[in-house]
C-alpha cells in the first residue's frame, strides 16, 4: 500500500510539490526551481506538515545554492547562512524545518575541504537522505503505532498528519493505514481543523483514498462524541516536542487532550525523532506562530466577521506531557511514566 | 441603552424579522404575512435563539389562524392543533418554542366560550405578552447576571445569546451589556461557532455595536486562551434546561464546560425560565437536532470536504449540571449546590 501521489519530490533540479491549498478540489503540482517560490509555498501552506517542512527546507538549501558563484568555502558558508536564515523565517513552530537546516549546515562544514561543486552534490545527497529517512521513519512509526490499534477502534484525529505532511504515508494517519492493512476494522472521526480546514480538506481526502470509514466533524463536536462513548482513541501528529514530552501541534490539539483526559480516552502523538527539540526543557518556550487575522475573519475570501473585530489566530498550541498517553516514534513507543525518564534514551 | 434594531416585531398583521443569515454583511428585514415563510425562516435560522423562537412560534400561531374560517370552537381547535404541530416541526431542541405553543393552546382553551373572532384577538394579545415578558426577563437576567461580573473580567462566550436571540438585549450578552452600562470594563472572546458561525457573524456584530472590546477566535482556540490564564468567566445561553440543571445549548458548549472545569474557570448559563423543561429529569432525553451535512462540508456554498466523506452535524450538545457554576434566570441566580435543590423553587 503506497502513496498514490508525491507530496514532495526532487525532479530534474526542481522541487515538485502538491499545492495543498487547492485540495481536495484540484490535485495541482507546482515546480519550484528557485528558493523564493519555495519559501512562499512554505509560508502559504502549499506544503505543510512538520516532516514535509524538514524535507522542503533541505531541498530549499539546494535550490538556494544552485547559482552560487562562491569561489572559496568561507564565501560559500556565508551564502549558506543567508539561505538558512531566509528559509528559517518562513514558519517558526515546526522544529523539523530548523533541524533539517542545521543538518545541511553541519554537512557543509564537515566537507569544508572539498571543492564547492562537490559540496553542492553532497548537500543534494543529504537532502535526499532526509527524504528517504522520513519515508523509512513513517513506515516504522506506523508499524509501532498500529500495535496500539484494535479492530473496531473509533479514532479521532486533528489536522493532517498523513501522506501530505510527510514524504511517505504519514505519522498519525500512517498508523491508521497500517492498522487497516493489518486487517483491523477502524472508523475515523476527522476534526475539520479551523481555520485552514486541513482536516476537512486533506485528511478526509486521504482517508477516502485508503477506503477508511471517515466522518467529518466541526472541531467543537469532538467533546459530544466523547461523551457518547464514540471515541476509543485520539491520535495526532506534532510540530515540536520538548525534552519532557510537551507537544506543540496544530491549534485545537490541546483542547482535545484535555477532553480526552476528562473522558479517560488514550491520547497518542505520532512523530519522528526529528520533531523533538532537545534544547527545550519543556513546551513553555516553543514559539507559537501567529497568523493573518483574515484566516479567521474570512472564509473562501468572503468576509464573515464584521469589520473592526479583533482576531486571535495562533496556529499551534502546546499540550503538556501529563495529558499524553504515549508518543510513537520510529524508535518505538514512549509511554508516560514519566516521559522525563523514557524519552532520555532518545538523546542520552 | 436599548436595541438599535428589532429582531422580531409584530407589524400591521405581519411578523417582521431580521434575516440573520445575511448578517453581518447586510441588515435585511423580512415580513412574513403567512405561516409558511415563518416556518421556513425558523428552519433556516433566519430567526434563531431560544427566546426569539418562542416569540416567533406564538406569532406564527396568530398568522396561521388569520384566515381561519372555523365557525365553532371545536373546528377552531382542530385548526389550532394543526398549526401547532406544523410550527413544532420546524426545530426540535429549543424548548421555548414548545412552551410558547402550549401557552397559546392553553389560552385558546381558557376562552372556549368566546366568539372565534374574539379568541383570535386574545391570542394575538397573548403572543405580544410573550414578547413583552421576554423583554422584561432580559432586563432582569442582565441585572442579576451583571452581579457576577467584575471590572477587568475577560469573558468567553459561544454562539449568539444576544439581542438577536431575544426580543430585547439578550441573555448571556445582556449580562455583558448591563455590566458595561454599570461602568465595568470587560473584554469578550467570541467563539466563531462552527458550522453556522453565529459567533463570528452575530455576536461580534452585536458587541461592536455596544462598543465592547471583542476578539474573535476559532472554537478550537478557547482551550489555549484558558491555559494562558486569559479567561476569567464563560457565559453562554441555553436552548433547553432539564429539571436537574443539565443544559442543552449550541454544539461546542459542552466542550467549553469541560475545559472550564479543567482550568477552574466559572461557567455560567443565562436563560429565562421558559427555557426550562421541567418534564425532563435530566438532559439525557433532550432531542438533539441533526442538521444538513452540507453545513459542515460546504462553506459559503463552496464544497470544502471531498465528496463521499460522511458528516456528523448535531446542532446542540448537553452539558451536565456538574460542570455549571450557576444558572441566571429572571427569577435570580441559581447556584449548583446542587441544582436539584435550588431549582426546585422555580417549579414547586
What ipTM was assigned to the predicted interfaces of this complex?
0.96
How many CB pairs (< 8 A) connect A and B?
183
**For B311, which of A197, A216, A306 is closest by C-beta distance?**
A216
**B285 at A interface, C-beta within 8 A:** no
Q: A226-243, pLDDT tens digit by residue?
A: 999 999 999 999 999 999
Question: What local confidence, expressed as pLDDT, does residue A3 receive?
Answer: 58
Judged against a pLDDT cut of 80, whether residue A303 lies above it is answered with: yes
Task: Give pLDDT tens digits along chain B (348 positions).
Answer: 455 689 999 999 999 999 999 999 999 999 999 999 999 999 999 999 999 999 999 999 999 999 999 999 999 999 999 999 999 999 999 999 999 999 999 999 999 999 999 999 999 999 999 999 999 999 999 999 999 999 999 999 999 999 999 999 999 999 999 999 999 999 999 999 999 999 999 999 999 999 999 999 999 999 999 999 999 999 999 999 999 999 999 999 999 999 999 999 999 999 999 999 999 999 999 999 999 999 999 998 889 999 999 999 999 999 999 999 999 999 999 998 788 788 888 875
**For A200, which of B217, B304, B308 is closest by C-beta distance?**
B304
User: Could you give phi then psi for residue B63, rounded to 5 degrees?
Assistant: -60, -45
Does the N-terminal peptide bond of residue A24 adopt cis geometry, omega within 30 degrees of 0? yes
Instruction: Give contacts of B 90-129 with A, CB under 8 A.
Output: none
Contact B309 A190 (CB under 8 A): yes
Contact A223 B254 (CB under 8 A): yes
* B217 → chain A, closest CA residue: A312
Rounded Cα–Cα distance for residues B318 and A226 (Å):
12
Is there a contact between B171 and B163 (Cβ–Cβ < 8 Å)?
Answer: no
Contact A252 B304 (CB under 8 A): no
Question: Which of B309, B315, B322 should be substituted to probe chain A, the one whose Cβ sees the most A Cβ atoms within 10 Å?
Answer: B309
Instruction: Give contacts of A 248-277 with B, CB under 8 A.
Output: 251-252, 254-255, 258-259, 261-262
Q: Which residues of B touch A218 (CB under 8 A)?
A: 194-195, 219, 251-252, 296, 313
Considering only CA atoms, give the Rg of chain B. Answer: 20
Mode of pairing for the β-strands spanning B187-191 and B154-157: parallel
Question: What are the residue numbers of the active site of A?
Answer: 239
Q: A116-160, pLDDT tens digit by residue?
A: 999 999 999 999 999 999 999 999 999 999 999 999 999 999 999
Question: What local confidence, expressed as pLDDT, does residue A347 receive?
Answer: 72
Kindly state the cell numbers that stand for B287: 432531542
> What number is the average pLDDT over the span A35-54?
98
Sign of CA pseudo-dihedral A36, A37, A42, A48: negative
Rounded Cα–Cα distance for residues A326 and A258 (Å):
15
Rounded Cα–Cα distance for residues B247 and A182 (Å):
43
Question: What local confidence, expressed as pLDDT, does residue A345 receive?
Answer: 80
pTM of the model: 0.96
CB B210: neighbour CB atoms within 10 A? 18
Q: What is the CATH number of domain B148-346?
A: 3.40.50.10470
**To the nearest whole number, what is the mean pLDDT of chain A?**
96
With cut-offs at 50, 70 and 90, classify the pLDDT of residue A96: very high
Catalytic residue among B134, B153, B239, B246: B239
Instruction: Give contacts of A 136-165 with B, CB under 8 A.
Output: none
**A221 at B interface, C-beta within 8 A:** yes
- Smallest CA–CA distance, residue A336 to chain B, in Å, is 20
* Percentage of chain A exceeding pLDDT 70: 99
Rounded Cα–Cα distance for residues B79 and A299 (Å):
45
Question: What local confidence, expressed as pLDDT, does residue B5 receive?
Answer: 87
Kindly state the cell numbers that stand for B231: 479567561
Judged against a pLDDT cut of 90, whether residue A5 lies above it is answered with: no
Judged against a pLDDT cut of 70, whether residue A16 lies above it is answered with: yes
Q: A143-152, pLDDT tens digit by residue?
A: 999 999 999 9
Is there a contact between A319 and A337 (Cβ–Cβ < 8 Å)?
Answer: no
- Smallest CA–CA distance, residue B100 to chain A, in Å, is 29
| Fold: same for B8-139 and B148-346 | no
Contact A305 B200 (CB under 8 A): yes
First to last CA, chain A: 35
**For A255, which of B189, B254, B259 is closest by C-beta distance?**
B259
Q: A160-190, pLDDT tens digit by residue?
A: 999 999 999 999 999 999 999 999 999 999 9
Question: Which of A290, A291, A309, A322 should be substituted to probe chain B, the one whose Cβ sees the most B Cβ atoms within 10 Å?
Answer: A309
Beta strands in chain B, from DSSP E residues, in sequence order: 8-11, 14-18, 29-32, 154-157, 187-191, 213-217, 233-236, 240-242, 247-250, 267-270, 276-277, 298-299, 302-303, 310-311, 316-319, 326-329, 332-335
Kindly state the cell numbers that stand for A273: 525523532
**For B215, which of A191, A214, A312 is closest by C-beta distance?**
A312
> What number is the average pLDDT over the span A249-276?
98
> What number is the average pLDDT over the span A102-110?
98
Question: What local confidence, expressed as pLDDT, does residue A343 receive?
Answer: 86
Location of C-alpha cell 502538491? A18
Rounded Cα–Cα distance for residues A89 and A127 (Å):
19
Contact A255 B220 (CB under 8 A): yes
Rounded Cα–Cα distance for residues B257 and B325 (Å):
10
Instruction: Give contacts of A 58-87 with B, CB under 8 A.
Output: none
Rounded Cα–Cα distance for residues A35 and B157 (Å):
44
**For A205, which of B208, B215, B306 is closest by C-beta distance?**
B306
Q: Which residues of A touch B207 (CB under 8 A)?
A: 309
Q: Which fold has domain B8-139?
A: 1.20.120
Spans of all domains in chain A: 8-139, 148-346
Rounded alpha-carbon distances, angstroms, from residue A194 to A231, A291, B104, B191: 20, 12, 43, 12
Rounded alpha-carbon distances, angstroms, from residue A300 to A158, A196, B191, B345: 21, 10, 19, 50
User: Could you give phi then psi for residue B312, rounded to 5 degrees?
Assistant: -110, 120
Q: A71-95, pLDDT tens digit by residue?
A: 999 999 999 999 999 999 999 999 9
Rounded alpha-carbon distances, angstroms, from residue B192 to A248, B219, B231: 23, 6, 16
Question: What local confidence, expressed as pLDDT, does residue B3 receive?
Answer: 58
Question: What local confidence, expressed as pLDDT, does residue B347 receive?
Answer: 72
> What number is the average pLDDT over the span A107-114?
98
Instruction: Give contacts of A 24-53 with B, CB under 8 A.
Output: 24-25
**A304 at B interface, C-beta within 8 A:** yes
Give the angle A204-A209-A215 at the CA atoms, nearest 5°.
Answer: 30
Considering only CA atoms, give the Rg of chain A. Answer: 20
First to last CA, chain B: 35
Contact A193 B220 (CB under 8 A): yes
Amino acid at each position: 500500500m503506497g502513496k498514490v501521489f508525491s507530496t514532495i519530490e526532487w525532479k530534474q533540479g526542481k522541487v515538485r510539490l502538491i499545492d495543498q491549498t487547492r485540495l481536495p478540489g484540484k490535485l495541482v503540482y507546482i515546480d519550484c526551481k528557485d528558493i523564493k517560490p519555495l519559501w512562499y509555498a512554505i509560508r502559504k501552506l502549499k506544503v505543510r506538515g512538520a516532516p514535509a517542512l524538514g524535507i522542503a527546507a533541505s531541498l530549499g538549501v539546494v535550490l538556494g545554492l544552485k547559482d552560487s558563484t562562491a569561489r572559496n568555502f568561507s564565501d560559500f558558508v556565508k551564502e549558506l547562512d543567508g539561505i538558512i536564515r531566509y528559509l528559517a523565517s518562513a514558519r517558526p513552530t515546526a522544529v523539523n524545518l530548523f533541524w533539517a537546516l542545521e543538518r545541511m549546515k553541519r554537512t557543509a562544514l564537515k566537507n569544508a575541504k572539498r571543492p564547492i561543486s562537490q559540496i553542492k552534490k553532497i548537500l543534494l545527497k543529504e537532502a535526499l537522505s532526509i527524504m528517504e529517512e522520513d519515508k523509512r521513519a513513517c513506515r516504522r512509526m506506523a508499524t509501532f503505532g498500529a500495535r496500539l490499534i484494535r479492530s473496531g477502534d473509533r479514532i479521532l484525529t486533528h489536522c493532517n498528519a498523513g501522506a501530505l505532511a510527510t514524504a511517505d504515508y504519514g505519522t498519525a494517519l500512517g498508523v491508521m493505514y497500517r492498522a487497516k492493512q493489518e486487517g483491523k476494522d477502524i472508523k475515523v472521526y476527522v476534526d475539520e481543523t479551523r481555520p485552514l480546514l486541513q482536516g476537512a480538506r486533506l485528511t478526509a481526502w486521504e482517508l477516502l483514498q485508503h477506503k477508511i470509514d471517515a466522518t467529518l466533524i466541526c472541531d467543537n463536536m469532538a467533546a459530544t462524541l466523547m461523551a457518547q462513548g464514540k471515541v476509543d482513541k485520539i491520535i495526532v501528529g506534532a510540530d515540536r516536542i520538548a525534552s519532557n514530552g510537551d507537544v506543540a501541534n496544530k491549534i485545537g490539539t490541546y483542547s482535545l487532550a484535555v477532553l480526552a483526559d476528562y473522558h479517560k480516552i488514550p491520547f497518542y502523538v505520532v512523530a519522528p525523532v526529528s520533531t523533538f527539540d532537545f534544547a527545550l526543557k519543556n513546551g513553555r518556550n516553543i514559539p507559537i506562530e501567529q497568523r493573518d487575522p483574515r484566516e479567521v475573519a474570512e472564509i473562501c475570501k468572503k468576509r464573515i466577521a464584521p469589520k473592526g473585530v479583533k482576531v486571535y489566530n495562533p496556529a499551534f498550541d502546546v499540550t503538556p506531557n501529563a495529558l499524553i498517553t504515549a508518543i510513537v516514534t520510529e524508535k518505538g513507543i514512549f509511554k508516560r511514566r514519566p516521559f522525563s525518564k523514557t524519552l532520555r534514551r532518545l538523546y542520552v
